[in-house]
A and B are shown apart, each in its own frame.
Chain A
Amino acid sequence: MFNKTTMTNKEIETIIGPSVVVEGNFIGHGNVVVDGSVVGMLKTEGSVQIGKDAKIKADVEGTVVIIAGDIRGNVKATERLQLLPTARIHGNVQTPNLAIESGALFHGKSIMEKNAEEEARQQDKNKHAAPRVKLA
């Protein structure tokens, strides 16, 4: 389902399967795959994959967020957000890198801004860049 962007089994640390409903504030540290339901909040320091049968009524936050299911809530991806053709989002999204595939449904506002860390890195790079040589 997730083609090239699928995480390997070794990287996945949390799987919320189809027979489970998680209700409350779920805060993870690794990668999360959701094929069941989440109500409340889903936040992790790793990436998040929302399967096509997943039902989310929660704010979602992760580094790379790949969505194929149904979300009612705001989504924040600090690196990249990808909406697959079966994705349905009712909420706002915030990410520096957004990809929406044909067929995906998106009702909301998108905020695209580089995160502070990346901006600082970019500024640092510019500072240390070699000075331009003036041509005579």
Chain B
Amino acid sequence: MYVYVVDSFVQNKRFDRDLLHIQARTQDLGITGRFEKITILKNIREIVKDAERKKVETIVAIGNDHTVNAIINNLNDSNIVLGLIPLGPEENSIARKCGIPFGIDACTVLSKRITKKFDLGSVNGKYFFSSLNIPASNNISVHCNDAFFMHLTNPSNLEIVNFTEMNDLSSSQDGYLEAVVDRKENSGWMHWMRRNESAQKTVIPITTMTVKCGHESIPIYSEGAVVVKTPAQIRIEPNKLRFIVGA
């Protein structure tokens, strides 16, 4: 049985036709299910809990990366398979990476049901699928794998990556997160002079990480939104998610 979670932005009139076509297509393909819209009265947590209670096998996000992340953060039953029908022009890196076509064509992918297990990252108990961003700061202290400290000699952005569009899909199935330090880019001629240096990144595979920033509390972003503030415990959760992918 399927439950389709329709994100609030998809309830905009411009997606009405897409939704109607998707509903019709799911019936044609024999993957019909309940379409649950996220509203002020019914949030994503209630929809997912209700689906778990009714022993639903597959939850399909109709929306974008934010919709997927919101569902992941409310899933307790690891046997539930997650699918995605991407809609909207922005924030759809997960769909692109997993070979899921946009709109109605994603229904065919769902019906083929090629399921893969993916690692998820967790930060202070909240899950993320793609990456975290920690903005450049002076006092960042990072303790990795309970074995070594990573000190940044100058303020640099720190990114914790499970997968990006640039990497191979297998990078989110390897049991590691990657800590990527990108030197803060200067503008003007100094940046031009140092262009070769700024190309040199640091990439360190990690399984656990503790990020502190002295007595300050700086925000940590995922998909452009603040998820937590430092101090933060970050770890990999191997094979946590079963996700339907394209070919």
Contacts and interface: CB of A to CB of B under 8 A. Distances in A.
**A and B: real partners?**
yes
Nearest to B179: A20
A14 B202 CA distance: 8
A19 B205 contact: no
B152 A20 contact: yes
A107 B145 CA distance: 33
Q: Which of B148, B150, B156, B205 has the most CB of A within 10 A?
A: B148
A15 B202 contact: yes
B183 interface: yes
B234 to A, nearest CB: 17
B24 interface: no
Q: How large is the interface on B (under 10, 10 to 19, 20 to 34, 35 or more residues)?
A: 10 to 19
Interface in B183-215: 183, 197, 200-205
Interface in B135-166: 145, 147-154, 156
Nearest to A32: B204
Contacts of B205: 13-14, 28-30
A20 B148 contact: no
A25 interface: yes
Contacts of B183: 17, 19
From DSSP, what is the main secondary structure of chain A's interface residues?
strand
Contacts of B153: 18-21, 36
Contacts of A26: 147-148
Contacts of B150: 20-23
Interface in A75-128: none
Contacts of B204: 14-16, 22
Contacts of A40: 148
Contacts of A24: 147-149
B60 interface: no
B147 A36 contact: no
B152 A15 contact: no
Nearest to A36: B202
A35 B202 CA distance: 9
A119 B246 CA distance: 49
Interface of A: 12-30, 35-36, 40
Closest 5 A/B residue pairs (Cβ) = A24-B148, A17-B202, A21-B151, A20-B202, A23-B149
7 contacts: A14-B203, A15-B204, A18-B200, A19-B181, A22-B149, A22-B204, A25-B148
Given A16-B202, A21-B153, A26-B148, 8 more contacts: A15-B202, A16-B204, A17-B183, A19-B181, A20-B150, A22-B149, A22-B204, A27-B147
